[in-house]
């Protein structure tokens, strides 16, 4: 486990003002894994999913990321069951733009009328009048980007969403989206072992845009016995996953890791990563390991 135990460890991750007006702790919770296999249907133990969500908030997590396609809607409905009425400081982000035809099946649909339908359903399932952060889950190549982002701008003007984000975009796509709306976040695959989105992260940092890395605790070969993660983890009495999260928190002030889990024990372990402080030498050793 981590080197320090505190009641609300997520607070040790520092803060980031999402959109400049929503301060959140940088270590959040991703609510994809509280669904069934293939992110489809109900979880095997819905009561445990509720316990996980409540425990995350108890540990200081005040940023939860979900999507209409997780289940579909199962994740949003469990969040409402576990946490509604929501704490005043809890920021919930959701996404639309990926449809589901079955387990592990994901297909982009960005037609404005579809996005509006999904928004209205998310508002109902979460039990809110406005969503703090609404993200385009994927760009639909069959629909002009201006129509997709334009729909989100309409929702914002109507007061149904507060901020707009995008997911899995290139630097060029992010720049194009910013010409159409104020984009406060980008959510791309990024972790210690996979840094192909490094240029997007650099762009986000330069423009004070939140970068929400999904699949944040992948460690790959770095966690092998005797490997760099294994050695440093032993020194900190921490797990390789905790070090991977600590590296992300150190890598950039705009990184907002959202590790997900369906287990209370794992949410406690993941959140404790915020209390792990890497030395300059350890951070550089992990940075150079890939």
**What's the pLDDT band for 219 if we cut at 50, 70, 90?**
confident
Q: What percent of the residues of the chain are helix, what percent strand, and what percent coil, each to the nearest 5?
A: 45, 15, 40
User: C-alpha angle 40/28/36, rounded to 5°?
Assistant: 15
Residue 185: what pLDDT? 98
d(CA 164, CA 37): 29
Distance CA 106, CA 102 (A): 8
* Range with the poorest average pLDDT among 74-88, 93-107, 233-247: 233-247
Mean pLDDT of 74-81: 98
Task: Tell whether the model's pLDDT for residue 1 goes beyond 60.
Answer: no
Query: pLDDT confidence of 216, banded at 50, 70, 90?
Result: very high
* 115-132: pLDDT as tens digits: 999 999 999 999 999 999
Main-chain dihedrals φ then ψ at residue 28, nearest 5 degrees: -110, -155
Name the phi and psi angles at 106, rounded to 5. -135, 125
Among residues 70, 134, 190, 203, the one annotated as catalytic is 70
Q: Is the dihedral of CA 215, 90, 18, 140 positive or negative?
A: positive
Residue 250 CA to residue 279 CA, distance in Å, equals 10
Q: For domain 15-216, give the CATH number.
A: 3.20.20.100
CB contact set of 200 (below 8 Å; sequence gap of 6+): 169, 170, 171, 174, 186, 188, 190, 211
**9-64 tens-digit pLDDT:** 999 999 999 999 999 999 999 999 999 999 999 999 999 999 999 999 999 999 99
Flag whether pLDDT at 2 surpasses 70.
Answer: no
With CA atoms as reference, report the closest residue to 286 among 249, 237, 255, 260.
249
Pairing between β-strand 98-99 and β-strand 107-108 as defined by DSSP bridges = antiparallel
Average pLDDT of span 91-116: 98
pLDDT at 222: 78
Q: Positive or negative CA dihedral for 194, 200, 202, 205?
A: negative
Query: Percentage of the chain with pLDDT > 70?
Result: 98
pLDDT at 4: 42
State mean pLDDT over 100-124. Answer: 98
User: With 60 as the cut, is the pLDDT of residue 3 above it?
Assistant: no
Looking at residue 143, what is its pLDDT?
98
Helix (H) or strand (E) holding 24: strand 22-25
Show the tokens assigned to 107.
């297909």
Report, as an integer, the average pLDDT of 251-256. 98
Question: How are beta strands 15-18 and 22-25 bridged, if at all?
Answer: antiparallel
pLDDT band (50, 70, 90) for residue 107: very high
Percent of the chain whose pLDDT exceeds 90? 90
Q: What is the mean pLDDT of residues 150-158?
A: 98
Of the two residues 5 and 285, the one the predictor is more confident about is: 285
* 70 a catalytic residue: yes
- DSSP conformation letters of 115-163: HHHHHHHHHHHHT-SSEEEEEE-S--TTS-HHHHHHHHHHHHHTTSEEE
Overall size of the chain counted in residues: 290
Mean pLDDT of 189-199: 95
Per-residue pLDDT averaged across 149-168, rounded? Answer: 98
């Amino acid at each position: 486990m981590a080197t320090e135990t505190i009641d609300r460890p997520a607070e040790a991750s520092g803060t980031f003002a999402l959109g400049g007006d929503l301060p959140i702790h940088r270590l959040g919770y991703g609510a994809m894994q509280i669904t069934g296999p293939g992110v489809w249907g109900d979880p095997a133990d819905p009561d445990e999913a509720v316990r996980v969500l409540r425990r995350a908030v108890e540990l200081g997590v005040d940023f939860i990321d979900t999507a209409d396609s997780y289940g579909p809607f199962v994740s949003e409905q469990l969040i409402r069951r576990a946490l509604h009425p929501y704490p005043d400081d809890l920021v919930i982000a959701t996404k639309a733009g990926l449809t589901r035809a079955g387990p592990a099946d994901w297909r982009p649909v960005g037609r404005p009328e579809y996005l509006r339908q999904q928004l209205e359903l998310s508002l109902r399932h979460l039990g809110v009048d406005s969503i703090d952060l609404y993200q385009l889950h994927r760009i639909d190549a069959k629909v002009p980007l201006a129509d997709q982002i334009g729909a989100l701008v309409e929702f914002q003007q109507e007061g149904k969403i507060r901020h707009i984000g995008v997911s899995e975009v290139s630097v060029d796509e992010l720049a194009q989206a910013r010409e159409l709306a104020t984009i406060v976040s980008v959510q791309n695959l990024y972790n210690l072992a996979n840094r192909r989105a490094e240029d997007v992260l650099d762009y986000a940092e330069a423009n004070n845009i939140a970068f929400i890395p999904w699949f944040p605790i992948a460690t790959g070969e770095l966690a092998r016995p005797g490997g760099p993660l294994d050695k440093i983890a032993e020194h900190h009495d921490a797990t390789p996953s905790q070090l991977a999260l600590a590296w992300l928190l150190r890598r950039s002030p705009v990184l907002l890791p959202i590790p997900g889990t369906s287990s209370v024990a794992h949410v406690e372990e993941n959140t404790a990563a915020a209390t792990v402080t890497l030395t300059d030498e350890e951070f550089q050793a992990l940075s150079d390991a890939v």
